[in-house]
Amino acid sequence: MADFSILIGGKAGFGIDKSSLVIADLLNQLGYRLYVYRDYPSLIRGGHTFSIIRASDKKIATHRNSIDILLALNQDTIDLHKDKLTDKAVIIYDSDAVKAETLPPGKQVIGIALTKVVKEANAPEIMRNTCITGALCRVLGINWDVLDPILRKNFSKEADLNLKIARQGYEGAGKEFIKIEPIKQDRLPIFNGNEMISLGLIKAGLNAYVSYPMTPTSPILHFMARLAHDFSLKVIHPESEISVILMALGLSYCGEKAAVGTSGGGFCLMTEGLSFAAMAELPIVIILGQRPGPSTGLPTYSTQSDLHFALNAGQGEFPRFLTAPGDPEEAYYWAQVALNMATKYQIPSIILSDKDMGECSYSFDLSLVKELKEEAPVLWNRQGQYKRYLDTQTGVSPLAFVPDKDAVIKVNSYEHDEAGITTEDPLVTTKMQDKRLRKEKYLAQELEQYETVKVYGNKDSKTALLCWGSAKGVCVEAAQSLGLKVIQPVVLSPFPLKRLEEALKGVEKLIAVENNATGQLVRLINGYGLDVDEKILKYNGRPFSLDELQERLKAVIR
C-alpha cells in the first residue's frame, strides 16, 4: 500500500502523542512521507486523544478519514472511530480494555492483553504504547531490525524494558496482515510547523524569544528554550503577554532580534505593545497561533479566524508585514522573511499560524525551500548628530544602539520629532506619520521579488480554490485529485494584489476554502473588488480531511 492511515487512540496521559511520532519515525525509515494529525482535549488526564498517522509514497500535508489500521488502547477508540475503518482494516486492541463483542464485524482483529503484559513486566502503564507499536510492526511485516533502533532512539532512558515489551507485542500479533513495502527514496526529517517557525527565526539571526505559555504556541517556547544555549538565545517567560511584548521591545531597542509567540487571547493583551512597536519603530516578530474563539474558545483545536484581527490589531495606522505559511517548508522560509522585514523596515511582522500547522507533523523537504540571507538593520553612518527618527526617502531611519558614545538614542510611544522628543505639532505629526507609512511602499516593492501568492495543481483549470494558511495542504491534494487549480496568498499584508490578479487570470469559478465561519480571506479580497463564487467553510475546530473536502468540492463543481 502506498497510502495508508493508522489511528492510535486513548486517553490524555496515555502517551498517544509520543507513540504517533515513534510510528511516524518507523515508517519514515521505510522511505514513506508522513503527516501526523493530532487531536487532543484541553486537559491533562482523561478525555479522548487520538492521532492519525498517514503515510504515502508522495509528500502529503493532510489526513484522511478512512483508517486502515486502528490501534485502540481503550474502548472509546473503538466506539468513536469504528465508522472510519476501511473494509480490510485491521484493529489491534488491548484485550484487557476493550470488549471483544463491541468490535465492528468483518474486520481483522488482533487482541493483545497489553495491560497484563506491562503489569507482568513491572513496567509503567504508558508502555502499552510500545507493546502495541511492536504488534503494529508485525502486522505491517516490518522487520524487528527496523524497530529496534527506533525504540532505542526514542526511549533512551528505559530502552531495554521498552524493547522487551515491544517484543511481546511483536510476537503476540502472530503474523503479517498488510505488507508494507519499503520505498526507495531519501528519508526526510519530520517536523511540525512550530519547530520550523522557530528554526526559520533562528536562521535569520534571532537573539531573543519571549513568550507566555499558550496553546498552540507553547511548543515554540519549549523548543526555543531547549535550543537556547546552542544558539545563544535569550529565552524568557515573563508574567503576562503584556510583559512579553514590552520586554521584547526593550531587547529590540538594544539591537537584539526578538520574537514573541502567543494565541488570540494573548495577542489581545499584546495589541498595545504592537501599536507601540509601530510608533517607536522597534522591530519585532509576533507569532500568532490561531485557535477557535471567541474568547477561550476551543483551546486545543484549530481555526483560521484571526486574519482580520492580525491585520487590524492596534490603535492608529501603521505598516505591518503579515504572512500565513501553509506548511513547515513555508513556515521555515517565511519566518526568515518575517524577521528580515521586521529588521529592515523596523516594523512589526506577524506570522499567522494555527494549531494544525503548528502541532501536526510533516515530512520536511529542505530542497523545496529557497535559501535566504539574514538581513542586517540599516545602521547610522556616524555623520553629524544622531537622530533616531531621521526622515529618509524610504522612511527607514538608520539605527544606533545603546551604548553609543556619540549618540543619544530616544524611542517614544508619543508622536515625536526626528530626535524622538514628544511633539503635538501638526506639521511634524503629518511628516512623521507619512514617514512611517512610506516604509510600506518600499516593503511592498521589495516583496515583489518574493512568491507572495502561490499557485498549485492544474494551472490551466478554469476552476480554482482560494485558500490560505494550513488549509493549503488539503486544498492542494484535493485539487490535484480533481484537476483543479489552487491559489494561496502567503503574504496578507502588504496585500499582494498584483500577484493575486495574475494568478486569477483565466479562472472562471473561484471557490474559497477556509477554516472559519465567515470567509475571512474572501472579506479581505472583497475590499479589492474581487469575489469568489463559492465558499466552503468549516469551523468546528477540526481541519478538513482530504475525503471530506473532495466531497464538498464535488458538490459545488459538478
Partner 1 sequence: MKDLGTSCPNTWCPGCGNFAIMNAVKTALNSLSDEGLSLNNVVLVSGIGCNSKIADYMNVNSFYSLHGRVFPPATGIKLANPGLKVIGHAGDGDAYGEGLEHLIFAAKRNVDMTAIIHNNRVYGLTTGQYTPTSPLGYKGRSTPFGTTEMPLNPLELMLVSGATFLGRGTSHGIDLLKKLFKEAILHKGFALIDVLQVCVTYYNMYEYYDKRVYELKDHNPEDFDAAMKKIREWDYNTDSPIALGLLYKKNAPTMEERFGKFDRENIDRSSKIKKIMEEAI
Which CB sits closer to partner 1, 16 or 246? Answer: 246
**What is the footprint of partner 1 within residues 379-408 (CB under 8 A)?**
402-405, 407-408
DSSP, residue by residue, 523-550: HHHHTTT---SEEEE--SS-PPPHHHHH
DSSP-derived secondary structure letter, 205: T
Of residues 413 and 480, the one with the C-beta less far from partner 1 = 413
**Residue 422 binds to partner 1 (criterion: CB under 8 A):** yes
Q: Between residues 190 and 478, which has the closer beta carbon with respect to partner 1? A: 190
Task: Note the helical H segments in 292-359.
Answer: 307-312, 328-345, 355-359
Cell numbers for 315, please give them. 490603535
Element (H or E) spanning 557, and its range? helix 546-557
For the segment 281-310, give every residue that binds partner 1 (CB under 8 A): none
CA 349 – CA 447 distance, rounded (Å): 13
**Binding to partner 1 by residue 508, rule CB under 8 A?**
no
Q: CB count, 10 Å around CB of 333? A: 23
Q: Name which of residues 173 to 212 contact partner 1 (CB under 8 A).
A: 187-191, 199, 202-203, 205, 207-208, 210
Shortest CB 276 distance to partner 1, Å: 6
Q: 246, 307, 324, 372: which one contacts partner 1 (CB under 8 A)? A: 246
- Binding piece for partner 1, criterion CB under 8 A, among 58-66, 111-119, 242-250, 509-517: 242-250
Helix crossing, 471-482 with 546-557: angle to 10°? 50
Task: Select 97 or 235, whichever has its Cβ closest to partner 1.
Answer: 235
Q: Is 242 helix (H, G, I), strand (E, B) or coil?
A: helix
Closest approach, Cβ 334 to partner 1, in A, equals 16
230 binds partner 1 (CB under 8 A): yes
Stretch that binds partner 1, among 159-167, 308-316, 409-417, 522-530 (CB under 8 A): 409-417
Minimum distance from residue 415 beta carbon to partner 1 (Å)? 11
| Residue 255 makes contact with partner 1 by CB under 8 A | yes
Least separation in angstroms between CB 405 and partner 1: 5
How far apart are CB 22 and partner 1 at their closest, in Å?
13
Residue 315 within binding range of partner 1, rule CB under 8 A:
no
By the rule CB under 8 A, 154 interacts with partner 1: no
Minimal CA–CA distance to 353: which of 518, 521, 196? 196
Task: Tell how strand 33-39 and strand 46-56 pair up.
Answer: antiparallel
Q: In what order do the strands lie in the sheet with 348-354?
A: 234-236, 208-211, 258-262, 284-290, 348-354, 321-323, 491-493
How far apart CA 64 and CA 3 sit, in angstroms, is 10
Site for partner 1 contains 376 (CB under 8 A)? no
Residue 310 CA: distances (Å) to CA of 146, 292, 302, 558: 46, 14, 16, 36
Question: Who contacts 298 (Cβ-Cβ below 8 Å, separation ≥6)?
Answer: 42, 291, 292, 541
Q: Is residue 364 a contact point for partner 1 (CB under 8 A)?
A: yes
Instruction: Please report, as ranges, the residues that interact with partner 1 according to CB under 8 A.
Output: 28, 187-191, 199, 202-203, 205, 207-208, 210, 227, 230-234, 236, 238-240, 242-244, 246-256, 258, 272-273, 276, 364, 366, 402-405, 407-414, 416, 419-422
